[in-house]
Structure 1
Amino acid sequence: MAKVAINLSTGSIQQEEIIVGIDLGTTNSLVAYIHPETRQPHAINDLDRGTIVPSVVHFPAGGDTPIVGTDAKQYLLTDPQNTIYSVKRLLGKSYKDLGNHATELGYRVIDDNSEGLVKIRVGEKFYSPIELSAEILKELRSRAEHALKTPVNKAVITVPAYFNDSQRQATRDAGRLAGLEVLRIVNEPTAAALAYGIGLSPDEEKTVAVYDLGGGTFDVSILRIQQGIFEVLSTNGDTYLGGDDLDRAIYDYWAAEYQLSAVLFQNPSRQQELRLLAEEAKKQLSQQDSLEFDFHGTQLPLSKAKFNSLVGPLVERTIVSCRQALTDAKLTPTDLDAVLLVGGSTRVPLVYDSVSAFFKQPANSSLNPDEVVALGAAIQADILGGNRRDVLLLDVTPLTLGIETLGGLMDPIIARNSKIPTKAGRQYTTSVDGQVNLKISVYQGERDLVSENRKLAEFDLRGIPAMPAGLPKVDVNFILNADGILKVEAIELRSGTSQAVEIKPQYGLTDDQVEKMLMDSLTFAREDVAARMVIEARTVAEQMLYQVERFVEKNHQHLTEEEITLTAAATQNLREALEAKDKDTILKAVDELEALTSPYAERVMNISIKQAMAGKKIE
């Protein structure tokens, strides 16, 4: 018996499953879909809150269920330790990647002194950026299901063009944890171009610039579109520049000009009020020449001319990025067919004028800049759903391909639904001192543990020079050709030692087996992610124990008896935590050991530097 779906919001028979497009943003996120009758993209609108969902997650005291979006935003100043924002900046990154920016956040990012991915501590619990992003995606999915009155299980999610493999995989994992099968990760500028109608015709050839100034980030991409294929020629930008900085320029001016600093310092709620007034001033001055606000008896005037002088240097920074992007693409402004504007901050007239002047043509701002990326993602979803017969859809790989890493985890290299032919790779290292062989096991499937996936091949990379753990650099590359034949190459960069294997049977799975593997990956998503996080926590803990024990053994003469005793107790506490097999318990013990030993390591480093410099002159 055939099944017929009826969309309760439109009353129409729904011929195909709805696939939504999601713009998972640093500051704001939103979800869009293609209307089944008009075939036009629409951003899903909550009647009370609009289309935009702030990318903010708040954890109330004593509550397990987080608050997401508009309702969470109010806690940014009143309870910053338990309110997470800008989590997109943390996706797929280690603490070392963040550098000084980690201290600028209002919440606590854990430094485990390793290359491991960051974790955020909220009370006694530890969250990964993937889990937090999943909460935002769950809210978007819930909104879509509420508005469309139908289950939503599939999505296309956008990411910046500069996102690396790790960041893209983290986004995909977040979607799966939110109960979504992520059919494709799409570059934001590609989605924007699709929304503007560029690239939908297979015989179209264009070169465009996409200027994206959002709430917290800025990037510009130069795209070449040929025969339905989008190629990113160059990308540039600033992950710490956006509309929030324009607001901050007004805030700082008012605070200094009208001597508000003391009042603001003593009253956090007044800070929030002034920030909101600054944001409102930015919006109003996009439409009028001057304004004046009353701030608790103090009059705060601002003219458009003054506003332009305040934000001018920030806008100029974006133009510098545009100039560099063109240089990297080896193009000039006259080589571009169009300049597309994305992001709410492009509504500021100075931004529009500056961009149009630089590129020597009027920028295209005909679509809602807040919605354009999500609308494009919805169009891409419609293409994947097979509803646009005029658009060429290249062959894709049906299941994720990856290798086994420490703890029996699957590390994806080529994601499911990647266009073929394709090539992707990752860099690995050894985990044991003096290791001379590295076993590479290739798997296919969507589960986090390799034991749940299908093994395709295994080979050894032999002859790695004996070095301390972590020093060898091994590149593992997957090359998947148009016939679906997978070649796996491994090369140790320092010695040039290499090995390769070709896996000829493309997949050897029936459609039913592929479908079951996909369904299992969603059904067991939470269990899989929980298991992965315990294994990753154990790996971090074991590395920490190894490093601390070696440190004490080599530097015990620089430590007091009390410090050695305290360190021994903390390491024993970590060993006992490992037995608990609970992620939060293990990470708490790691955090405590790190906090205890960091000052010792810093002191020993200073002693070593003094000894090395003894008797030497600095000129």
Structure 2
Amino acid sequence: MFEPPQSVRPRDTPVLVVDLGTTTSAAVVVAGEESVPVPDPVSGAAAWPSAVLWDGQQMLVGTLAERRKRAEPESFAAEFKRGLAADVSVVLGRHRFRPVEQVVALLAALRLEGERLHGAPITRTLLTVPAAYTSADPRRARVIAAAEAAGLETVELLPEPVAAAFAPVAGPPLVPGDLLLVYDLGGGTFDAALLRIGERWHELLGHATLDDCGGREIDALLAARVHAEGEAWLAPLLSSAGPTDPATMRLGMAVTDFAQRLKHQLSAAPSVEDFFLPNAPAYRLTQADLRTLAAPLLSRTVTCCTDLLARLGVSPHQVAAVLTVGGGSRMPAVSDLLQQTLRLPLRTTDDPDLAAVRGAAHWLPRSGPRRVPAVTSPEPSIPLSFAIPGGSAQLLRWLVAPGQAYVAGVPLARVRLPGGALWDLTARTPGTLDRLLATPGSEVVAHEWLALARP
């Protein structure tokens, strides 16, 4: 499939920038220098719940799914990003859906809402993905396939820690060459990454992930505490219902939502008193209680960071700062623990949940043309090779067909670098494409002959 060269220029094309999170997702439409957030159409919130519900005819997404989950708990799914590695189907209602299909539904909803706000079709996307989604990881290919199935034909990837580091950050500015430790406590996982700050790109030096150490695990611990301490008034609600009974599922959802509400309130208050039911006793929780409950999990995140630095041969005093992102980093216990253990300056964003999507939207129009001119020879049949950044890339598609004439500077092909960024391979001089030597989907290396052309 060939595209006209004018359709591939990033500055001329609206781009849907998406942070696909385990518990929440967010999107921004970037067109030139202008960025427009894509809020959830039901709640108006900047972040959409990463949730779906099959109502028997269509897939409901985001807050619409969240608000129906207690009515139809057996048709509801969330945190499906965690299942992308195995991609095993689950039953929603009377149908089975793979995690990648649930991602398609979420991305399609984001695209449609983005198009409504932008007023025109959007076929290009920039997805932020965990640093663990390397070229060998099957989740990377499935996320790309899901975006394409959602109608986003051109898919670019940006590692989440790199994106977050481009977000507006409080405190003294970082300068090129600084080492930045990104501490990302999200709803589903914990990710640590070490970056070297640059002008147009931050180099990802290493990363580590804890797949079972996110905000949801803290919610589960708190929900278990609520269950234990409120057994006297929770037990009658269940009677003889089994674990898969809708009543049991509804109660579990309600207790988890209540625990999450308590946790969020404690981000700004030293203590909270709330009611699960109007006739139930008041439930009281303090920041000290939450700190004690979360201490084992938070301790693991610090160990993950120190192990990463040790593996990379970097001592803490070489790190300029720690950037805390992800909704879990709102807890005062996180900043207290990091200051006590790592003893490094902390940097924060105004909304840690949106750091990745805002950083990616900030980076995109400032990332430059990202084009590599062809290297040619004076022979009658000119071989085209390119000084590909980093030495290798995946050839996505040819933008000029054999026999088609082109002018100097026009994009001939598009490649995806190992980090996920898209680059266009351009013509240094005018000519006519004669024969292709590399096929889409193949791995290509710098200075390898990819095509032959005629002057």
Q: Normalized against structure 2, the TM-score is what?
A: 0.74
The corresponding residue for 2:244 is none
- CA deviation digits over 1:22-72, x for unaligned, max 9? 101111111024475xx47553334743111111121113x1x21111111
The corresponding residue for 1:343 is 326
Which letter maps to 1:86?
Answer: E
Shift of 1:373: 0.4
CA contact (8 A) 1:21 1:380 kept: no
Residues in 2 aligned to 1:361 and 1:285: alpha-carbon distance in whole angstroms: 24
The reply on whether 1:210 has 2:182 as its aligned counterpart is yes
The corresponding residue for 1:281 is 262
Decide which of 179, 194, 198 is 2:151's aligned counterpart: 179
- CA deviation digits over 1:116-151, x for unaligned, max 9? x53344466543333221111111112212222232
The corresponding residue for 2:50 is 55
The corresponding residue for 2:23 is 27
* Residues 1:398 and 1:164: Cα distance change in structure 2 (over 3 Å): closer
Greater relative contact order, per chain length (Cα 8 Å cut-off, separation 6+) = 2
Which letter maps to 1:252?
Answer: A
The structure with the greater share of residues assigned to helix is 1
The reply on whether 1:68 has 2:61 as its aligned counterpart is yes
The corresponding residue for 2:38 is 44
CA contact (8 A) 2:39 2:48 kept: no
Shift of 1:292: 1.4
Decide which of 144, 148, 155 is 2:114's aligned counterpart: 144
Residues in 2 aligned to 1:219 and 1:421: alpha-carbon distance in whole angstroms: 17
Equivalence map 1:399-548=2 (5 Å) = 399-400=395-396, 417-419=415-417, 456=437, 480-483=444-447, 485=448, 504=449, 506-507=450-451
CA contact (8 A) 2:61 2:106 kept: yes
The corresponding residue for 1:561 is none
Q: Which has the larger radius of gyration?
A: 1
Runs of 4+ in 1 over 6 A off after TM superposition: 395-398
The reply on whether 1:118 has 2:111 as its aligned counterpart is no
Residues in 2 aligned to 1:179 and 1:385: alpha-carbon distance in whole angstroms: 25
- CA deviation digits over 1:311-357, x for unaligned, max 9? 22221121121121111121122111221111111111001221233
* Residues 1:421 and 1:120: Cα distance change in structure 2 (over 3 Å): closer
Equivalence map 1:254-273=2 (5 Å) = 254-260=226-232, 262-263=235-236, 265-266=238-239, 267-268=247-248, 269-273=250-254
CA contact (8 A) 1:207 1:222 kept: yes
Structure 1 unmatched ranges of 5 or more: 1-13, 95-116, 388-392, 402-414, 423-453, 459-476, 486-503, 511-619
Residues in 2 aligned to 1:337 and 1:54: alpha-carbon distance in whole angstroms: 34
* Residues 1:301 and 1:66: Cα distance change in structure 2 (over 3 Å): same
CA contact (8 A) 1:58 1:82 kept: yes
* Residues 1:479 and 1:145: Cα distance change in structure 2 (over 3 Å): closer
* Residues 1:77 and 1:323: Cα distance change in structure 2 (over 3 Å): farther
Over the aligned positions, Cα root-mean-square deviation in angstroms equals 3.6
- Count of residue pairs the alignment pairs up: 382
* Residues 1:90 and 1:74: Cα distance change in structure 2 (over 3 Å): same
Residues in 1 aligned to 2:107 and 2:68: alpha-carbon distance in whole angstroms: 20
The corresponding residue for 2:359 is 376
CA contact (8 A) 1:158 1:186 kept: yes
The reply on whether 1:301 has 2:301 as its aligned counterpart is no
CA contact (8 A) 2:104 2:146 kept: yes
* Residues 1:232 and 1:457: Cα distance change in structure 2 (over 3 Å): closer
Q: Percent of counterpart pairs with the same letter?
A: 28
CA contact (8 A) 2:128 2:356 kept: yes
Structure 2 unmatched ranges of 5 or more: 1-9, 240-246, 371-387, 398-412, 421-434
The corresponding residue for 1:156 is 126
Which letter maps to 2:267?
Answer: S
- CA deviation digits over 1:272-299, x for unaligned, max 9? 3332222121121121122212233222
* Residues 1:35 and 1:360: Cα distance change in structure 2 (over 3 Å): farther
Residues in 1 aligned to 2:298 and 2:77: alpha-carbon distance in whole angstroms: 27
Moved more, 262-271 or 278-287: 262-271
* Residues 1:302 and 1:457: Cα distance change in structure 2 (over 3 Å): closer
Moved more, 167-176 or 118-127: 118-127
The corresponding residue for 1:579 is none
Which letter maps to 1:273?
Answer: A
* Residues 1:203 and 1:274: Cα distance change in structure 2 (over 3 Å): closer
